[in-house]
Amino acid sequence: MFLNDIKVSWRKLWLDKTTSSIHISSLAIGIVSCLLIFSWIMQQFQYDRFHEKQDRLFQVWENQYYSDGTILSVTATPGPLKKVLEEEMPDISKAVRTTWSIKKEFRNEQFTATESGIYADEDFFQVFTFPLLEGDPISVLQQPEHIVISQRMADQLFPDESAIGQSLEIINEQPFTVAGVMENITSVSTLQFDYVLPFKKFESENDWLLGWQNNGPNTWVLLKKEVDSKDVQNKLASLIKKDSRQKNTELFLQPVKDRYLYTDYENGQYAGGGRIEKVKLFGLIALLILLVSCVNFISLTTARASKRAKEVGIRKVIGASRKAIAGQFFIEAMLISFFALSIGVSLFIIFLPYFNEATNSSIVFSFLSKEVGVGLFGIFLFTLLVAGSYPSMLLSSFSPLAAIADRFQQQVGQRWLRNILVVGQFTVAMVLMAGTWIVLQQIQFMQQKELGFNQQQLLYIPINSTGLAKKYNVLKEDLLKIPAVQSVSSCNQKLNDIRYSTSGISWEGMPVEEDHLFTTIGANFDFVNTTGLVLKSGRDFSVEHRADSMNVLINEAAAKLMKMENPVGKSVYFGEEPAQIIGCVKDFHMYSLKYEITPAILYVDSDLSYVYVQVATDNLPNTLTSLEQTFNNYESTIPFEYQFADEHYSQYYQTEKMTSKLAILFSILALLLCGLGVLGLTIFSLERRIKEIGIRKVLGASTRQIVQLFLKNILQMVGLAFIIGTPIAYYFSQQWLQDFAYRIEVSWWIFPIVGIIVMIFALLTILIQSLKAAFASPIGALRKE
């Protein structure tokens, strides 16, 4: 019986190619969407979950409590914390510190390379699973002159020999000995590095790490086996307050495996946001798309029920049970689902490279993977159950009598259900389209918003590791000789990526018990002029005022916090050290627009990480060449690097841009699915009403009047979808926009325009079919009956 059903199902698909094509392509679109998204989701869940000891591995966070009620959650921890954890927390097996990613220039006798890496404590390779190809994980970081490099780096710098034991020079530092070669870091690691240097080396060069007043490195802990992390958490919370180590802070643990997905902390608590929300959102969208495609299947199958009713009746008369009939239709659904899955998988393989590019992913598809197999089976089963169940139950319920007597009529309930399904499809399409539009508007807003400084003409040139810092003044003079260079200054950070902050700042009139966090920017002379910051009062740092090396600039937010209406001339105190305020700049954005502008203090800093150059934008290639030549006059062994401030800024919104690309894709797919569904229903409706059309034409109906018969129903359904979809789209878009401190107001006209677009699409979809019917000869239709 099963083979017979397969045979019959195949013949049915073949004989009614139009309907079969609509069914299969509709399901295939849903399946390929699901496959793309679920493979992306699977990759998201792979981040940081490759460490063998991941169940015992945690990162230490710090909650900092400020007197205005703010709680700041940070991963930067004090240098002495590691030792305290190991000595005072018996449940902790090991504690390890790492620095942030630092770029260094390497060279040996033959080659040079610029690489990013970290400093890490000696237990690093025992705590984390970054396999070593050569070297002993216990001892590779024990000596301060040792270095561990990646396989890629080893191949580049020592192509013809083993790197172990070789000498490797870092520009402006001592030579190091390669003690280990590690596998290239997997793409699903949030920690990315090509070299590791011993943390004790970093500590020896940075005294501030020895005290509790400053935070910097990340601290990681490996718990002992069988230890409950909640117990450790409870004991850990107040550890840092002991012995006046740090006031107003508490420690807590985050599992390393959650680092990538669960990133948003607010007021000391996990705020429920972060990448996991994107994962959930896209998972939901993928399911919705698949559901819409299944709805198409159900809708078309039930619409054509009358064509199958006679066959069902005959089979029942001959002796088929309801179960046998339902099984037959289920097998038909299975066959269609199988073809749709095959096409969906093929499309997935074809489009995967483009999807990877759009989402900045590195998803690899392998039929041999267990996860892929389970995923494909799951999607197939979901499609089959959702698309196949209701039609099977419905079609197998037909009475043999109604079929034999040719008196089959669609029950009113079935028509209503079909209409509800179509309205649901259009609602999903409209919500996606409106949501996409709002996302694109927000991205455009973020890209075009005035940041408070001139990012289009501002270049960042890193000089941290080059030794050029000592020659800065002479370099600046040479740079200013280039005609297109308008101004030069320097800073310890990129202006739209400020990371340093400090507390412990006081001013006259500040209540004693208060403590506030200020963002700190180590700048240089001519800073305001170079960056295009706008002075509200006072003046820029200037070489003509040597005392400016002890003075500060503040922003409006800082002036407001300190309740200074005229801050120029007043003093702030870094601990006991006074600093005079020489100017107040208008607020400017120091990070992405997701965050509010914070109070900031700018000071003259001898620690130069970046030279800032303001350039005229005409003839940029020549200007860049001149800049490179000038730099090479000072340091020819290190590659010249630069970045425009606006390029750096655009990186903040990679996630949002990816969101918008995916949203556009899914909106198009949802609309396409609606179109397929409507097309199928229209074709069927035409077949069913062919006699009616013939009679109307004989009685004198015009082409327009015939076409209106079909358009009216569709217009009503689109209209209803608009009424339902608009508040849903508005609600979800408002929820998404809450992530941004600076955001657009949702424009009301988006929704009616989306509604009109969907309506036009639906009308065009059915117009050709309905015109065909309208122009057909009435005699042919009547004779057929």
Partner 1 sequence: MIKTVNLTKVYRSDEVETTALNEVNIEIKEGEFVSVMGPSGCGKSTLLNVLGMIDSPTAGDYLFNDKEVGHLSESKRSDVRKHNLGFVFQSFNLIDELTVFENVELPMLYTKVPSAERKTRVNELLEGMNIMHRRNHFPQQLSGGQQQRVAVARAIVNKPRLILADEPTGNLDSSNGDEVMKILSELNAGGTTILMVTHSQYCAEFGNRIIRMLDGKVVVENVVRQYL
Interface ranges with partner 1 (CB under 8 A): 1, 4, 8, 11-12, 15, 310-311, 314-322, 324, 399-401, 404-405
Please say which residue, 15 or 547, places its beta carbon nearer to partner 1.
15
Minimum CB separation of residue 24 from partner 1 in Å reads 18
By DSSP bridging, strand 485-491 and strand 535-538 are unpaired
Residue 7 in 3-state DSSP?
Answer: helix
How many beta carbons lie within 10 A of that of residue 83, not counting itself? Answer: 11
Nearer to partner 1, 8 or 534 (CB): 8
- Helix or strand (DSSP H, E) at 579: strand 577-585
With beta carbons less than 8 A apart as the criterion, state whether 600 and 555 touch.
yes
Full strand arrangement of the beta sheet holding 485-491: 485-491, 610-615, 458-462, 643-644
Q: Of the two residues 30 and 313, which places its CB atom closer to partner 1 in the complex? A: 313
Cβ–Cβ contacts within 10 Å for residue 323, how many? 9
Q: How many helices (H) and strands (E) does the chain have?
A: 23, 26
Nearer to partner 1, 313 or 680 (CB): 313
Min dist. Cβ of residue 320 to partner 1 (A): 5
- 396 versus 454: smaller Cβ distance to partner 1: 396
Smallest distance from the beta carbon of 311 to partner 1, in angstroms? 6
Nearer to partner 1, 1 or 543 (CB): 1
Per the CB < 8 A criterion, the answer to whether 141 and 666 are in contact is no
How near is the Cβ of 12 to partner 1 at its closest, in Å? 5
- Residues contacting 754, CB < 8 A, separation 6+: 430, 433, 434, 437, 729
Task: Say if residues 586 and 533 touch (Cβ distance below 8 Å).
Answer: yes
Q: Contact, 254 vs 223, CB < 8 A?
A: no
CB of 388 to partner 1, least distance (A): 19
Instruction: Give me the least distance between CB of 689 and partner 1, in Å please.
Output: 22
Map tokens 């705590």 to a residue. 127
Q: How far is the CB of 385 from partner 1 (least distance, A)?
A: 24
Least distance to partner 1, CB of residue 779, Å: 23
Output the smallest distance, CB 331 to partner 1, in A.
Answer: 13
In 360-411, which ranges are continuous DSSP H helix?
Answer: 370-395, 400-404
DSSP 8-state code for residue 398: -
For the chain, the farthest-separated pair of C-alpha atoms sits apart, in whole angstroms, at 106
Backbone angles phi, psi at 2, to 5 degrees: -60, -45
In angstroms, rounded to a whole number, what is the distance separating the alpha carbons of residues 361 and 366?
A: 16
**Quick one: 369 or 397, whose CB is closer to partner 1?**
397
Least CB distance to partner 1 at residue 338 (A): 19
Query: Which residue number, 357 or 406, has a Cβ lying nearer to partner 1?
Result: 406
Would you say 546 or 784 has its CB closer to partner 1? 784
Q: Which is nearer to partner 1, 11 or 280 (CB)?
A: 11
The H or E element containing residue 255 is strand 249-255
- Spatial distance between the Cα atoms of 670 and 34, rounded to a whole number of angstroms: 12
Write the single-letter amino acid at 728: I
